[in-house]
Amino acid sequence: MNQTPTEHLHLALRQQRAAFEREPMPTLAVRRDRLRRVHAMTLRHADALADAIAADFGHRARQETLLAEVFTVRAGARHAIAHVGRWMKARRVATQLHFLPGRNRLLPQPLGVAGIVAPWNYPYYLSMAPAIAALAAGNRVMIKPSELTPATSQLLATMVAADFAADEMQVVTGDAEVGRAFVELPFDHLFFTGSTAVGRLVAQAAARNLTPVTLELGGKSPAIVDTSCDLPRTAERLAFGKLLNAGQTCVAPDYILAPKPLVEPLVEQLVAAMRRLYPRLTGNPDYTAIVSARHHARLQALLDDARAKGARLIATHDETPADRRFVPHLLTGVDDTMAVMRDEIFGPILPIVGCNGVDDALARVRSRERPLALYWFGRDARTQQRVLEQTYAGGVTVNDCIWHLGQENQPFGGIGASGHGAYHGVWGFNTFSKHKPVFVQSALAGTALLRPPYGRVFDRLLNVLGRMSG
């Protein structure tokens, strides 16, 4: 008798939970073995991953896949292999004087079965990076990749099935209906990467099971350009950060805030920088296509809306590619009535807003939902510190774009509407662990004096303890 997708999901979860119950605290050797298998399969299938992702996108630069998907997963796995032995150790915690000679320790434990929902824009990395954290913490893992990248999703399922038992880690493919059923499962932790709108629905579904959730969302990430910046270098780095994966990156700069006198010089520098990176678009193997016709049409609608409402559009290339490669556009004269300034762009469109100084730029950033990333370009240390202290963002790169995302020794995650929770390195291990506090009482415990029957000794002791704690 054939199973329905929902029945298959529940069976898979029961199998993984039963396996976890048999091995609730995997040894260091077991965890490192699982992480090494992730590293090995990533290296072994690098070419196949590049081909599958390119097929799903219509075209994706091979080098972008090798850098942003293959290298990043390998680096994360290597980091976890090197450090998980230290992460998983119970550690001593200070004990207050009045509880001595008892002692405290903190014991990291796996949560159980982790569910991971991955998006289409970096389909391998955003599946495996949280999986690495979950495996390092000793959990079992179920992954639901995006239906918008079917070739990559099927390859991922085949890769994982070849290197992992189904009750260790498995991939569940399917459409949006399968995705909805997936997030309704009673996981021990659910990790979702995607849009803010869908993230709200995921959080609601998880709440019905009281499942803790990590949400890695998006938002409009600003780049603030200061008068003290090196303008050509700033333009080069903004151009790379915006056009990597054709702007289909959750931490891509979504709009620029620049002093009004710098707007036109910055436009000129950005056009020149984008043309140097991509001398042509048609047939250029380095320039990635938009993932689907629907998303391509969505980007065109953003331009049409902005033009109709008075924005100036600057196309960086005089081409009309026949495929889904989208011509990068810079926009000036934008305002908040335009969809391009309200919605996350997720493509190679970059509005530039002229500001009346730093105060104006900071006020504009603070008037919006808190973004996943913020970028600042300049050489004035006092202004830099002011921007860092007076804005909120999931993470910041100074004088460049995106690279804070690659730091394994720093947490990566959002704030407010851009998400909550964090991962990478030990931060990911902690996300998928329960740090259980343990107090070990001594045979000589003075707390016996606090038991009934109460009397003068209790009163005096409590008075002494009150003074000590004050």
Q: Which residues are catalytic?
A: 216, 250
Nearest to 192 by CA among 11, 426, 420: 420
β-strands 140-144, 113-117 pairing:
parallel
β-strands 189-193, 255-259 pairing:
unpaired
**From CA 213, how far away is CA 207, in angstroms rounded?**
9
Nearest to 122 by CA among 76, 73, 178: 73
**From CA 222, how far away is CA 245, in angstroms rounded?**
18
Nearest to 27 by CA among 138, 118, 115, 161: 138
Q: How many C-beta atoms surround the C-beta of residue 406 within 10 A? A: 16
**Of all residues in the chain, what percent are helix, strand and coil, respectively (each to 5)?**
50, 15, 35
Instruction: Check if the beta carbon of residue 138 is closer than 8 Å to that of residue 25.
Output: yes
**From CA 334, how far away is CA 150, in angstroms rounded?**
37
Enter the DSSP assignment of 410. S
Instruction: Check if the beta carbon of residue 424 is closer than 8 Å to that of residue 413.
Output: no
Token couple for 203: 């959080």
425: left (phi over 0), alpha (psi -120 to 50) or beta: left
